[in-house]
Amino acid sequence: MFLGKYVIKSMKFHSLGKLGNKLLNSIIFSAILIIIVVILLTFSIRFALDANIKGQRILDTIDVSANQLFRSIIDQETGQRGYSLTNHEEFLEPYYLGQAEFSKSSANLLSNTKSFEKLQNKALEIIQLGEHWQSTYAEMFVEQGRNGENLNINLLDDAKHASDDFRTNFFEFSKSIDEERTIVRNTMKYRINMTLIILVATIIVIMLVNLLINFRILKELIKPIIKLSSCVQSYTEHDFTKEVPIYNKQDELADLIRNVGVMRTELSSNIHSLEAKVNFDGLTGLYNRRFFNDVFTNVWEESLETTEPLSFILLDIDYFKDYNDTYGHLKGDECLKRISKKLKEFNKEPNSYVARLGGEEFVVLLRNQNKQQTLQVVEEIRAAILALRIPHQTSLTNEYVTVSIGVSTITPTENLKPSDMYIMADQALYESKNNGRNQVTNYGKKKEYLTL
């Protein structure tokens, strides 16, 4: 609280005013409450984790004690059988060690299962079965072996059943340990989940209370501020169609709205003028090379993530230098404009982009089109330009202006660069020119040609 008051006093020097101080008080109070709740619930989660760790460690100890108990019976059984069969005294050593281990493990098992009533009952049952086998059969068989007496077949069968009962109950006990592990884990998960629910609910309540308090403070200001924010957001996206909100009071907000209105008018004029100069080719109105390179780089990165194919199409007007020499540069510019106007029909963002790279060279970028779909579009472009019927008497290909086209269609990978597509398309364009012009060549291991 002292820190909060210190912050408030410090902020007052920055002329927050009465409204600002009220808002700051509300925010700091809510933040302090949230911090306190988070600290308390963190301790609760820590407690749940500690309880789980403690329970799992106890169950580990129980598991170890149970296995030692089981091994002690196995050792006794092995020693007893060996002695009964051979009458060699060395077999009695594991027998007696097993007896001692059984007593020790029994005490440990009963001590460790005090926290788990269900396990303790089963542990007691296992111990009783082990003691029954020891006292009823194992000790008697050892004594008979010492006296040189033959073992009774029926007693051997009864001993085997007793041993099997012990084993069966041991394995069931092991399963019960795993069940208790699951219970301990689920208890921890439940406590943590409840803690998180309480945390979220508490934060929501604090935020709602804070919202109600702030709403009373901002009741007269919030609507014009939201509208103004929306307008500014639109202006940052170069959308200047939204009018600034109407606000009739005479205060700082009114000055802000008026200044934003002036900014909108000036920014709109400057942006449109700048975009026309920076992004578009001055002669044809198509995107220029600089802007296209930026678009191509962005589209390439998106295609790397979506694994969609890209098609890079290079167009070059056939014998355009001869056209300029024959008809003059003014007619040449007119020819470029007519072809560009037709190419604009294929600019369907964001699926396709058309740009002038310079001189008589143009480019079309297609997204998410396979090779056949791309070739169909490219042939439509070639035919559409020929259909303009722009006379070209010095062309060696046709009496009208034609274009040669090179195409590359690939799916971008990390091993490729955007410039690779340009190189492929440029090589395909060279093939189109080298094979008579007025045709489409698709780059590939085997060049594919589409001619008139």
Domain CATH code at residue 319:
3.30.70.270
Q: Does residue 284 belong to any structural domain of this protein?
A: no
The catalytic residue positions are: 360
Residue 5 lies in a domain: no
Residue 229 belongs to a domain with what CATH number? 1.10.8
CATH of the domain at 162: 1.20.120.1730
Domain check: are 243 and 332 in the same one? no
- pLDDT band, very low/low/confident/very high, at 450 (cuts 50, 70, 90): very low
Residue 3 lies in a domain: no
Domain of 274 in residue numbering reads as 222-278
My answer on whether 312 and 230 are in the same domain is no
Q: What is the DSSP track for 174-236?
A: HHHHHHHHHHHHHHHHHHHHHHHHHHHHHHHHHHHHHHHHHHHHHTTTHHHHHHHHHHHHHHH
Angle between helix axes 289-306 and 418-434 (nearest 10 degrees) is 110
Joined tokens for residue 317: 């007007």
174 lies in some domain: yes
| Contact status, residue 411 vs residue 377, Cβ threshold 8 Å | no
Number of structural domains (the chain) is 3
What region does 87 belong to: left with phi over 0, alpha with psi -120 to 50, or beta? left
pLDDT of residue 1: 44
Cα four-point dihedral sign 55, 59, 62, 68? negative
Q: Which strands sit side by side in the sheet containing 439-442, from one edge to the other?
A: 352-358, 361-367, 310-317, 403-410, 439-442, 448-451
pLDDT at site 3: 47
Query: Of 252 and 361, which is predicted with more confidence?
Result: 361
Both tokens assigned to 347:
């600019």
The pLDDT value given to residue 16: 60
One domain, residues 155 and 263 = no
Is residue 309 included in any domain, yes or no?
A: yes
| Residue 369's pLDDT band (cuts 50, 70, 90) | very high
Q: According to the model, what pLDDT value does residue 424 have? A: 95
Q: Both 114 and 232 in a single domain?
A: no
Return the residue matching tokens 């920055």.
Answer: 14
pLDDT exceeds cutoff 90 at 79: no
Domain identity same for 163 and 98: yes
Q: For the chain, give the percent of residues with pLDDT over 70.
A: 91
- pTM over 0.75, yes/no: no
Report pLDDT digits (tens) over 31-56. 888 888 888 888 888 888 888 888 88
Give a yes or no: residue 294 inside a domain: yes
Tokens representing 159 are 């001993």
- C-alpha 440/C-alpha 383 separation (Å) is 11
74 and 153 both lie in a single domain: yes
Averaged confidence pLDDT in the chain:
85
The region of weakest confidence among 144-148, 268-272, 289-293 is 268-272
Q: Is 421 exposed, middle or buried (0-12, 13-18, 19+ CB in 10 A)?
A: buried
What average pLDDT does the segment 232-245 reach? 79
Give the pLDDT confidence score for residue 113 in this predicted structure: 87
- Residues 251 and 335 reside in one and the same domain: no
List pLDDT tens digits, range 114-147.
888 888 899 899 889 888 888 888 888 888 878 8
Indicate if 344 and 244 belong to the same structural domain: no
Q: Percent of the chain having pLDDT more than 90?
A: 37
Residues 397 and 433 in one domain: yes
Cα distance between residue 105 and residue 73, in whole Å: 11
| Tokens linked to 73 | 């019976």
Identify whether residues 63 and 186 lie together within a single domain: yes
Residue 109 has pLDDT above 50, yes or no: yes
List pLDDT tens digits, range 400-436. Answer: 999 999 999 999 999 999 999 999 999 999 999 999 9
Is 238 in the same domain as 315?
Answer: no
Say if residue 62 is in the same domain as residue 102: yes
